[in-house]
Structures are given as structure tokens and as C-alpha cells.
Amino acid sequence: MKKAVAIRHVNFENLGILGSLLSLRGYQIDYYDAGRDDIRAINNEETDLLVVLGGPISAAQHFSGALRYDFLDHELALVKQRLAQRRPTLGVCLGAQVIAQALGADVISLGVKEIGFAPLTTLAAEDDSPLAPLADTPVLHWHGDMFTIPEGARCLAGTAVCPHQAFDYQGFALGLQFHLEADHRDIERWLIGHACELELAGVAPQSLREQAARHGTQLEQRARQVFARWLDNNEPRM
């Protein structure tokens, strides 16, 4: 049985729809909760797929030394080793920023929050892009930092606010700034968990509820296609 390990930073930012897809494809899924579980205990050789999930932490502040979270240093070391071994690795939001940092790129503050469902305004034109199924489908944005594109990687998508929304690194590593994994049926958990951030950003919870109801079903279908496309290309490596 193939094994997927997910590093989770807050309970509701989990694998979401990706989790059910991985189960259907025969993966055993193990969660490691940052701040409770020892990230250093993850064995790359025994892990077919590593997913580093999102969380309400500024990677820009951590990696600049302004704020410190020891577990992020442990995640960075794990990801660096994994990338050197060319093992399939997926990062979402904070997780994508960790992958970018591991590849020598920077993580910077946008100075604004990008929160809500909106389409990606620039998509890589290549037919082999894993994001091709998204087309103009609105996706869930929820971040205030942005990675720069690592050397040797290609930028797959952007928006007017955040020109670096996704990157592919040599086929086996994928970084997504947006939350393609989020299950629209769980949006209320996100609204509760991020209530303070929403208030500070001036984003009304009702608007996100309405957006999730309007776009969620189509986005889930397209997201499954994206993840399946990327897994199809990487499972032969496992």
C-alpha cells in the first residue's frame, strides 16, 4: 500500500477532497500535527507522497527571523532532503512556501490579504500543466504572503494581487498558494478558525459562504482532475 504523510498546522486545514481521492487510489494516510507531533520522525524513505498543508503562520516573518516556529525549521529540513531525493511532494499555501524556501526562493509579504473565491488570471499555456483543468474556475485564496519562483521551476498561475500562485519543480514537486484541497462543505470551520483574521481584513463571512455555495461543486470536480493528473504523473516514481 502506498503511504501519504500530511503535515497539518490547524485541524480544519486538512487534506479535504484530496484525502478522499488518495483513499480511493489506495493510499494509507498519516497526519502529523505541527506543534504536537515530532516532524523529525517522518521518514522520507517510507513516505511515497508528502503533503505540507496550510496554516495561519507568516512564513515570510519566520524565515526572515522576525517570528520563530521551530517546527517550520524541521519541515524545511525534511522537505530539502525529500527534494534532493526527487520524491513526490505537494505544498499548499504555507506548505508551498516551505517548498519554495527549500529550493532557495524567498517568501515575502504581499502587504494585503487575498481572501475569497476568484479565478486565476494567468495560467501556464502548456497542455501538460497540472492546472489545465481549472481554466477560469474560481479557487479559494486565503493568504498574505507569496513565494518567489525557485530556480529551475516554472510558474503555473498568478493573479493581479499575487503573480506567483503556483509552481511546478521538475514534475515531482508542486506548490499551490491557493487552497485547491479545501472542501466547500467545511467552509464554516474555516470561518470559525479564521474569524479574527477575517475581521481584521474586513472580509464578511457571509460573502465567503455565498461564494462557497456558488462555486464549490464545480471547483471540487476540477480540483479532483488537477490532483489526479499530477498523481498520475508521479505514482510511477513511487
What band does 125 get if pLDDT is binned at 50, 70 and 90?
low
Mean pLDDT of the region 115-132: 85
The verdict on pTM exceeding 0.75 is yes
CATH homologous superfamily of domain 2-237?
Class I glutamine amidotransferase (GATase) domain (3.40.50.880)
Q: Do 214 and 118 meet the contact criterion of CB atoms below 8 Å apart?
A: no
pLDDT tens column, 206-227: 999 999 999 999 999 999 999 9
Instruction: Tell me how far CA of residue 155 lies from CA of 51, 79, 116, 161, in angstroms.
Output: 19, 19, 21, 15
pLDDT tens column, 141-176: 999 999 999 999 999 999 999 999 999 999 999 999
Instruction: Tell me how far CA of residue 80 lies from CA of 24, 62, 206, in angstroms.
Output: 29, 17, 40
Res 59 pLDDT > 70: yes
